[in-house]
Structure 1
Amino acid sequence: NWRKLKMEIEKLNLESMNITENQKAKLKELFPEVFTEGDKIDFDRLKMTLGEVIDSGKERYGMTWNGKSECFRLVQQPSRATLIPAKEESVNFDESENLFIEGDNLEVLKLLQKSYFGKVKMIYIDPPYNTGNDSFKYNDSFNHSTWLTFMKNRLSVANMLLTKNGVIFINVDDKEYSYLKVVCDDVFGRENFLNVIAVKTSDPSGHKTVNPSPYSQTEYILLYAKNKQAYKYEIQYIASDYDSGYNQLITNFDAPFPEWQIVGLFDYLAKEKGYKDTRDANKQLGHNVFQSIVADFALENRERIFQGTAIADDAAKDIVEIRNKSKSSLGDIFKVAREKEDVYIKDGRQIYFYSNKVREIDGVLTPSKPLTNLWTDIPYNGISKEGGVKLKNGKKPEKLLRRIIEISTEPNDIVLDFHLGSGTTCAVAHKLGRQYIGVEQLDYGQNDSVIRLKNVVNGDSTGVSKIVNWQGGGNFVYLELKKYNQTFIDQIEEAKDTEALLKIWEQMKSKSFLNYIVDIKKQDEHLEEFKTLTLADQKQHLCELLDKNQLYVNLSSLTDTDFACTEEEKKVTQDFYQIKK
């Protein structure tokens, strides 16, 4: 319950986990002899300790870009922000372990380290694709280097949250796939790459097919493990069509196996329906109609329909012996007894029953096939109303997230999405009984993920609800980063003209924390020069005036009158962090 979760948060700890200190402590456990009296690392001694494992060569495979070196500093820098619980946006605040957090996802990921380090079983993200799409609310002028830095920072911190057998799924398009793959190899380790899944997202139609190259109808999902050796995958199955290779029928299946009478399935059914043979049935009924009749019959009689399959030389010794014997006794049927299921062999091939291919999927008996890394069976059309919210571009089907969650987690495992968007991941996790954490910094108004989660609690009937028998219920807690200077940055980014920016500047002079080198008087003296800048440069200049260490309110500053925290915010936050007054 929520009380247990609250107790996990360390009392009076005002910062996120210091990643550098944490890594240093682990190194000290392994190699205490390389630390000096001042608790510094003697790298020469460390090299001597490790000996030949040190790679001193300068030539190695990798990728670099402007800002990559800055990633390490940003990742290791602890967050000093404060998560403020919002009771009015939550559902059953005191009982839930599900979290929705509004705020910069890098800051939030750092804050989560204290309570969720090594506890998240699965992460799914559908990050911005760096396409310049004006309808996407993230900064759509990401250049390539900025996007790579943006991704590496967040993935590096997120990796620390995964359990030892945890996995991460990352949605990406063909434009950034190859670059993101190298970034992920760097963050998670090339040895922990599991697969890349191709997902069919659309069909070519109309004006969309006007393209200088083959029409793109897929997106990709990169799949990495925290530790490939610890990750265990169980084969999953999806529905498939009737396999016409299963075309032999045992007409007297209840008789002793040596007396089985075997006929061709197609001709047998054609005659049963009053036709001379398969060709006549196809001609009179039409191929598709006759195939449908065959498929239905095969499903109903799956225990006595089979196909002959090859038996490899490395099969069990007794099976190989019977295989060889049956080749010289054509027409006869042999049996090899087994504890679970006997093996039948005819003419050197195994009698493999259609029943082995049939499974119950979503309550329906159907032919099936193993899930591969090509997903073409999840429709992307008709999902606009799922969850009662809309997102013009990028919304993912609930069926996609259901598959991802079910193949990687068990009930009560923790699922994380730090690019939550319209909230599909948390909505499906809620319906499937997983604990979840969703992070989103953008407000989508009436299409917000919080509204979607409330719809789920109230019994949302869209998406996968019918399949999983969702009836409603449950709860979640809404948290947000308490903004200070970030509020002004948000206003600056939303400003449409210079006049709006000048009004923001007037507010900044008295209500923001400015960089210590800023001289307000000199800034005002150069306002006319400021007005000659482009709108983008004006915004950049104002943002540079703000103290970036004061973007969010520090937990220790809640009672400081400069931050204007309400009494309700103070009380709820003190309760949340178990702070003694």
Structure 2
Amino acid sequence: MVETIILKELRNVVESFGNKYVTEDGVLKKDSIISDLDKYNQDLIEAILKNKVLNENYVESVIDTKIIKVEEIIQALEQDEYWINSYTKYANKIGLTSNGRYLDETSDIVLDFPYKDSVLKGGMTKEDEKNSNESFLNEIIAKEEIDVLLDNKIFKNVIKYDKNGESTISEIKDTDNLIIKGNNLIALHSLKSRYSNKIKMIYIDVPYYFKKRISEDAFKYNSNFKLSTWLTFLKSRLEIAKQLLSTNGSLWINISDDGMHYLKVLSDSIFGADKFLGTIPRKTRNGKSDVPFNMSQDFDWLLVYSKASEKDEVVGRSVDRKYYTTDDFPGRPWRVADLTSQRTIEERPNSDFTMINPKTGKKYPVNPKRSWAVTKDTFDEWYSNGGIGFPDDYEFMNGERPFRRVFKDEDDKKKKSYVSTDLLIKLIDKSTKGNYVNKHGNDQITELFDRDSFGYAKPEQLLKAIVEATTNEGDIVLDFFMGSATTQAVAMKMNRQFIGVEQMDYINTVSVPRLQKVIGGEQGGISKDVNWQGSGSFIYAELLEKNAAFVNAILNARNTEELKVVFDKMKNIVDFDFRVDLQNVVNTVWDEDFETQKKILVDIIDKNQLYYNYSEIDDEEVKKQLSKEEYEFNKSFYSLEDNALEDNDFGD
């Protein structure tokens, strides 16, 4: 039997005590271990605390005090199935539990969310009806089964795209844009070492949760998610997204009405309810008549979160203002502002005076209902600092009242103006006579590609509004449900750095070609609004497949004979799930129907080994799959010293 990392580490700890906790045959003396854990045996507790893996999984810090979860270790020891099948109670049993034990183990009852400490890997490459029914690809991997799944991965097929076309590349710079093809959960964890706390804005148009299957605004493969698995799928990704987000950055989650409230509760638990900025409504269409309950739901929503404090300026908007340049204030453009107060002269008696222009002597009586914003005593100070102007000072000036003069350099020092939660409702392209933003996104894709290339793209105007409200030039923008690369296209046109992750095959038929067109100066979307003329570059890289290649081969098999060919290769190469009785699979799998055969063959593959880990990069068999430039790129990405390189160590 192959053991999990946690099991191996616990065994290593107890074996360090000789025969005290292990028989001569290597069998754990569970009663002895449990007894000493109950007594908080000092030697055993210290050994567990010193073990890095056990410390991470069974120890919590509370007010600078370490607390060991003795009960969880004991529960693991008491449940024979745990040692045989890792966390199989979460794979095989869903129901009422008390302290992690089922009804046949205890008399106390609570309702347990079975996947709360798990990872929903998700694994799709095609967005079509056939794959939409292969829900077994959205596999639950329990916490104790997660081994090296989330370790840094090796990048392959690294290409740089710029105005000169494609080129190989051997390093990445801090300012480079990056596109990754591969599972987004795994890719995000590979980004962690380089980009933690550096992403200013994350926008994700997540797979929507629907109570019943509909086509509009949906990734076609996701609508069959059960609520618990959908939440697990997003929980895993939001947790790592939080690590990547900068302190004053923001996360924008686009979501439908069905799933919005569930996702709000989940996101509160991850970020904290006090880090919730607001719910932004987005108008998606004009009303429809053939709708449930005769009510047309014409909005979707954006949930916005941050790691910042309330006092921080997470969002803001710049206001276009008219400034004057005059000889009396050289090099200091200025604008006109109101010099009156909303209070009456009775409320502000010190502001009840006639203002006289020192240059011309012209008098300006106070308005009794709106007193001056300046008092008699402070007028001279304001005026000498340039803070007060008069219309009779300038021939170009209109108006009959003194004004407050505000210099541009003063505006530049102020915080940005507030952002209203109705900012996205206003995104109506009037030139299309009231067709709302969903149609805009589809039209923009149609202008670039065939209409069937991608469905339900978000419009560039939507992302422009979010990028403007949350970032400055040079800030990093991340979208790990990249789709047709709308976020990345907008980021490039607005001089922001971007990262995108996509596992679907259309990354190479839609997403990358779209960004190539942006580099070339395409004039769709927001191009005219920002005077986009083309430029920029990005690096494309793929996670180096290991077991994932066989998952794809299984999915693409057309019949049992092709599956048998794939399985024969798997037996010599693939890392199988440690619980698999391979001989039993060989003896029984071909008696099942074709779809069940595919499901079984996918199930038995070790999901921890979908891609090659960076720790394996110096393995000779791995290096043969990489070019010298790709090897150097990986070293650069993970910021490690290059080893001495020999050309003959690598593949072509």
TM range (shorter): 0.5 to 0.7
Moved more, 449-458 or 85-94: 85-94
Distance 1:129 1:318 in 2: 60
Q: Secondary structure at the match of 1:465?
A: coil
Q: Kindly indicate whether residue 628 of structure 2 is the aligned counterpart of residue 580 of structure 1.
A: no
Q: Is 1:68 matched with 2:131? A: no
Q: For 1:82 and 1:118, how far apart are their aligned partners in 2?
A: 20
In 1, the alpha carbon distance for the partners of 2:199 and 2:574 equals 36
Distance (Å, rounded) in 2 between the aligned partners of 1:222 and 1:191: 13
- Residue 231 of structure 1 is matched in structure 2 by 312
The answer to whether 1:195 aligns with 2:195 is no
CA deviation vs aligned residue, 1:452-496 (integer Å, no higher than 9, x gap): 111111112111111111111111111111111111222334455
Distance 1:392 1:475, change over 3 A: closer
TM-score by length of 1: 0.66
Do structure 1's residue 125 and structure 2's residue 204 form an aligned pair?
A: yes
Instruction: Check the 8 A contact 2:317/2:468 in 1, yes or no.
Output: no
After TM superposition, give the deviation of residue 543 of structure 1 in Å. Answer: 1.4
Query: Displacement, 1:234?
Result: 5.8
Q: Does 1:178 align with 2:240?
A: no
- Per the alignment, in what secondary structure is the counterpart of residue 220 of structure 1? strand
Q: Deviations over 1:275-300 (max 9, x none)?
A: xxxxxxxxxxxxxxxxxxxxxxxxxx
Task: Calculate the aligned-residue CA RMSD, in Å.
Answer: 4.4
What does residue 115 of structure 1 align with? 194
More displaced, 88-97 or 145-154? 88-97
2:176 touches 2:539 (CA, 8 Å); kept in 1? yes
Q: Does structure 1 residue 538 correspond to structure 2 residue 601?
A: no
Q: Kindly state the Cα deviation for residue 85 of structure 1 after the two structures are TM-superposed.
A: 4.6
The equivalent of 1:254 in structure 2 is none
Match of 1:580, as an amino acid?
Answer: N
Are the counterparts in 1 of residues 146 and 608 from structure 2 also a CA contact under 8 Å?
no
* Aligned counterparts of 2:528 and 2:251: Cα–Cα separation in 1: 27
Q: Is the 8 A contact 1:422 1:447 kept in 2?
A: no
Q: 1:555 aligns with which of 605, 608, 614?
A: 614
- Offset of residue 524 of structure 1: 2.9
Distance 2:262 2:345 in 1: 44
Q: How does 1:387-536 map to 2 (within 5 A)?
A: 388-389=448-449, 392-444=454-506, 447-495=509-557, 498-516=560-578, 518-531=580-593, 535=595
Q: Which amino acid aligns with 2:283?
A: K
The TM-score, its normalising length taken from structure 2, stands at 0.59
1:518 to partner: Cα distance:
4.1
- Pair 1:471–1:176, CA change in 2 (3 A): same
Specify the alignment match of 1:219 in structure 2. 300
2:225 alignment partner in structure 1: 142
Checking the alignment, whether the CA contact within 8 Å between 2:155 and 2:544 is kept in structure 1 is yes
Alignment partners' CA distance in 2, 1:418 and 1:157: 11
- 3-state DSSP class of the match of 1:526? helix
Q: Are residues 1:103 and 2:164 paired?
A: no
Secondary structure at 1:175 match in 2: helix
Shift of residue 512, structure 1, vs aligned partner: 2.3
Q: d(CA) in 2 for partners of 1:515 and 1:331?
A: 83
8 Å CA contact 1:100, 1:438 repeated in 2? yes
Relative to structure 2, which stretch is displaced further, 143-152 or 63-72?
63-72
Which has the larger displacement, 393-402 or 163-172? 393-402
Could you say if the C-alpha distance between residues 159 and 444 of structure 1 is closer, same or farther in structure 2, counting changes exceeding 3 Å?
Answer: same
The one-letter amino acid paired with 1:176 is: G
Determine the C-alpha separation between the residues in 1 that align with 2:301 and 2:630: 42
Please name the residue that 2:409 is paired with.
none
- Shift in alpha-carbon separation, 1:434–1:76, aligned structure 2, 3 A: farther
Aligned equivalents of 1:409, 1:314: Cα separation in 2: 45
Q: Separation in 2 of the partners of 1:145 and 1:173?
A: 17
CA contact (8 A) 1:123 1:168 kept: yes
**How many residues are treated as equivalent by the alignment?**
446
Q: 1:335 to 1:490 in 2, by over 3 A?
A: same
8 Å CA contact retained: 1:318, 1:336: no
Deviates more, 1:373-382 or 1:398-407: 373-382
Letter in 2 for 1:547: D
Distance in structure 1 (CA, Å) of the matches to 2:547 and 2:421: 45
- What is the distance in 1 between the residues matched to 2:507 and 2:65? 57
| Cα distance change on mapping 1:559 and 1:137 into 2, 3 Å | farther
Residues 396/447 of structure 1: CA separation in 2 closer, same or farther (3 Å cut): farther
Letter in 1 for 2:143: R
**Higher relative contact order, chain-length normalized (CA < 8 Å, sep 6+):** 1
AA matched with 1:478: Y
Cα distance in 2, alignment partners of residues 558 and 234 from structure 1: 41
| Secondary structure, counterpart of 1:450 in structure 2 | helix
Equivalent AA in structure 1 for residue 632 of structure 2: Q
